[in-house]
Structure 1
Amino acid sequence: MIILTTLIFSVSAYFIGALNGAILLCKLKGWPDPRLEGSKNPGATNMLRLHHAQAASLVLIFDLLKGVIPVYLAYFAGVPPVAIGFIGIATCLGHIFPPYFGFKGGKGVATGLGTLLPLGMDMTGLVIITWLLTIAVSGYASLAAIITAIAAPIFIENIKPEFTLPVLMLSCLIIIKHISNIRRLIRGKEKKIVNWKQ
């Protein structure tokens, strides 16, 4: 019964995760596909670069919620912790490989954060603080995502260790999606979202 419930939630989470906020907003507004403009990543950061803060905020909230909702529903349905973790991963896989948009989606950062929010305010606070501090110090959104992904399994191991494995897997997935950013960071060619020198 637990396996069937987990499977149903995971499949549903995948298709919910595949609803990309940036792509849908651009279609609604008649804007160019964000996968073809700017950083070519359909996420909040690229929407900020291409349009304005309001558009980026809408995308961020949308992508956070689609991570939160499946995990919360699974929790209230009594799904075991490890299974809930895999449901969260399914949501992020939907965001990264959306069947509605030719399996070309985003990098899963906001959606991944959304899946962590139901794990508690302590975990949420640590993740958000890590992301904001990295942005404040470096100005790079990609570096903030990478460092937060590295830190998340360490945080969860000390807060709710039963979720360590799925969070570790989710972190690996996000880091793999940022390989091109890592290369640009090493070469000094990554674009900053905040430039304190200007």
Structure 2
Amino acid sequence: MDGVSPAAIAAALVIGYALGSIPFGLLLTRAAGLGDIRNIGSGNIGATNVLRTGNKRLAAATLLLDAAKGAVAVLIARHYLGEAPAMLAGLAAFIGHIFPVWLGFKGGKGVATYLGVLLALAWQCALVFAVLWLTVAALTRISSLAAIVATIAAPIAAWFLGNADLAAVVAVMSLIILIKHHANIGRLLAGEEPRIGSKT
């Protein structure tokens, strides 16, 4: 990312983090009178845990909004600052979702926001991610396993596009997602991971 000014970098990071840190899952469930989503199921603020409330429309809205905030951060930064800052804005939005200052830096696992960032940066990577996620989720009904498989594939797809900066950014996000899923990985190995739609 040579040639990018410090001001552009700072602006991209601020734009991305500010948008990414909006906790839509928490806001939507509270607005719907369902209380604090952090007290339900896994305690996560993402769409998978919102689905545990039994409200599919709310879960779908959370998924779309969490993805949209990542995409919007990229698009705003690209329009005003350029392609390299757009990648940084996407990364910052992703980090903002996982570590939102408003919730004591305890947010979601970032999968939906990751997908939104991918869609805005390189739709080919997003397509690979989405197809793998949907396929694994349909076969196993385990959201975390679908996310892990798709997350591993995305930076490989980015590398094949021939953009080193893109591949690096996607790889960093993928690594963070895998780290955030360490408990899920343990439960998967033990055969104890809950399936999509379960209340636990």
Q: TM-score of the superposition, structure 1-length normalised?
A: 0.92
Residue 160 of structure 1, CA deviation? 4.4
Task: Give runs of aligned pairs for residues 116-131 of structure 1, distance below 5 A.
Answer: 116-131=118-133
Q: How does 1:31-70 map to 2 (within 5 A)?
A: 31-70=34-73
CA-CA distance at 1:6 after TM superposition: 1.7
Name the residue aligned to 1:174.
Answer: 177
Show the counterpart of 2:141.
Answer: 139
Structure 1 distance, partners of 2:64, 2:16, is: 17
Q: Distance in 2 between matches of 1:76 and 1:34?
A: 35
Q: Where does structure 2 lack aligned partners over 5 or more consecutive residues? A: none
What do the CA deviations read for 1:123-166 (whole angstroms, capped 9, x no partner)? 22211101101112221100111111111100111124230001
Distance 1:165 1:68 in 2: 18
Give yes or no for contact 2:71–2:117 (8 Å, CA) kept in 1.
Answer: yes
Whole-Å separation in 2 of the counterparts to 1:161 and 1:9: 19
**What does residue 26 of structure 1 align with?**
29
In the alignment, structure 1 residue 112 sits paired with structure 2 residue 133? no
> Which moved further from structure 2: 55-64 or 122-131?
122-131
The one-letter amino acid of 1:71's match is: V
CA distance in 1, matches of 2:78, 2:184: 34
When the two structures are superposed, what TM-score results if normalisation uses the length of structure 2?
0.91
Deviations 1:53-88 (A, max 9, x none): 10111101110110001111122224243x432221
Size of the alignment, in residue pairs?
194
Match of 1:8 in 2: 11
Where in structure 1 do 4 or more consecutive aligned residues deviate above 3 Å? Answer: none
Structure 1: runs of 5+ lacking an equivalent: none
- 3-state DSSP of counterpart to 1:77: helix
d(CA) in 2 for partners of 1:85 and 1:9?
8
Alpha-carbon contact 1:9-1:74 (below 8 Å) kept: yes
**Is the contact between residue 10 and residue 90 of structure 1 (CA under 8 Å) also seen in structure 2?**
yes
Q: In the alignment, is the contact (CA less than 8 A) between 2:114 and 2:173 conserved in 1?
A: yes
Secondary structure of the residue that 2:87 maps to in structure 1? helix
User: Deviation at 1:194?
Assistant: 6.5
